[in-house]
Structure 1
Amino acid sequence: MTSRLPRRFSLRPFTPSGFGIVRALDVQVEEPVQGTFTLRYTLYADLSRLRIPATRSPRHTDELWKHTCFEMFVRKWPDSLAYYELNVSPSTEWALYTFDDYHQNGAQVHLSTPPRVHFTREPDRLHLDVRLDMHGLPHARRMALSAVVEDDNGDLSHWALKHVSPKPDFHHPDSFIAM
């Protein structure tokens, strides 16, 4: 199975200052022809000032976005607002949801093969690698990438390819870009 060349994206903080703790947040996306997404989130920061969830057994877990979490949204069909939302945590926990429309009828997606999540940490950065087999699930060539980063005080910083609302809203239809 051949892959396209990986694409690298830089996420932007919702507020211009972000935390000051995070220097950059990049995402590398590789989409093989048959629908297996490979993502690598790289967070460059003073890691001693962030709350990074402890590693746990990989499993579906709700509300990961309340702490440090990395996200991908994928449109299902070209002319539809229906989409999937993938949340992954440095804990290696994950969640996949489907929505019929903007914030409408969210439901958990049950996968025969759960995402593979691998977390590594270096002195000034962390990497979260995700491999998600979406073979058999419809998806269009539009996506949105985002992250929530929690500092040591419990404050959250919201990062995305683009922010289109007056408050952080990763689900907004205008947040999706062509792949």
Structure 2
Amino acid sequence: MPTLALMAHPASAVPAHWRVEVQLELSADALRLHYRFYAADLRLPAAVTENAALRADDLWQHTCAELFVASGDDDAYREFNFSPSGQWAAYDFERYRQRAAALPAIAAPRIAVGARGGPGAELTEMTVLLPLAALPDTAYGPRSVGLTAVLEAADGLLSYWALTHPERTPNFHQRAGFALPL
């Protein structure tokens, strides 16, 4: 699949040389996402020392990649967060920003980080292997996805990246941002 470029939200102050690219590959049993963060002085969360990826909340407050998936015209959607630390999260929403009471019971994705960033580093790569069963089914029609990322600079400032930004302020939950058919 081709490389997709995420754009920084116009309200995000980012260095001109920063960029984010994503590649998706859908197989019979998994969705593979390969993120490339080209960003010198990118602040990364510390790697989790456990063998298994741990589920955690509030990952979006630091550098992380996100995936939003909807099925057809259904109001419901699922949000995934993937951290370079190895942590992850998944949430179901019944409609726009209305979170379901229960967390989805899904298998943990596999997250691998290549060249880790830090002071002076230019590239951080993160590959996520998400079991296909973790995605919403296609009962309401074909899936559409929103590819997004939050990057934290060394000074703590956050920038918001997506394929498209349908609003004047960063808002990854806006359905118009789920612009890519899967």
TM-score (norm 1): 0.87
Task: State whether residues 12 and 159 of structure 2, in contact with CA within 8 Å, keep that contact through their aligned partners in structure 1.
Answer: no
Matched, 1:53 2:45: yes
Unpaired runs of 5+ residues, structure 1, are 1-5
The one-letter amino acid of 1:52's match is: L
Q: CA deviation at 1:16?
A: 7.0
Contact 1:95–1:108 at 8 Å: present in 2 too?
Answer: no
How far apart are residue 173 of structure 1 and its match? Answer: 0.7
Q: Please say if 1:142 is aligned against 2:144.
A: yes
Partner of 1:118: 112
Identical positions, percent: 34
Classify the secondary structure of the residue corresponding to 1:121: coil
Q: Which ranges of 4 or more aligned residues in structure 1 deviate by more than 6 Å?
A: none
- The answer (yes or no) to whether the contact 1:22–1:45 under 8 Å persists in 2 is yes
For the 8 Å contact 2:11–2:169, the answer to whether it is kept is no
Which residue number in structure 2 is paired with residue 91 of structure 1? Answer: 85
RMSD between superposed Cα atoms in Å? 1.8
Distance in 2 of aligned mates of 1:115 and 1:145: 16
How far, CA to CA, are the matches of 1:109 and 1:121 in structure 2? Answer: 31
d(CA) in 2 for partners of 1:133, 1:86: 12
What is the SS of the residue equivalent to 2:133? coil
**Pair 1:30-2:30 in alignment:** no
Match of 1:175 in 2: 177
Question: Secondary structure of the equivalent of 1:108?
Answer: coil
- Which has the larger displacement, 164-173 or 9-18? 9-18
* Residue range with higher mean Cα deviation, 25-34 or 83-92: 25-34
Deviation at 1:33, TM superposition (A): 3.6
Alpha-carbon distance between aligned partners in 1 of 2:147 and 2:9, rounded to the nearest angstrom: 13
Cα offset, 1:82, TM superposition? 1.0
2:6 and 2:21 in contact (8 A); partners too:
yes
Asked if the contact 2:12–2:160 (Cα under 8 Å) also holds between the matched residues in 1, the reply is: no
**Residue 149 of structure 2 corresponds to residue 155 of structure 1:** no
Once residues 4 and 63 of structure 2 are traced to their aligned partners in structure 1, the CA distance between those partners, rounded to angstroms, is 19
Q: CA deviation at 1:23?
A: 2.2
TM-score (norm 2): 0.86
Aligned length: 169
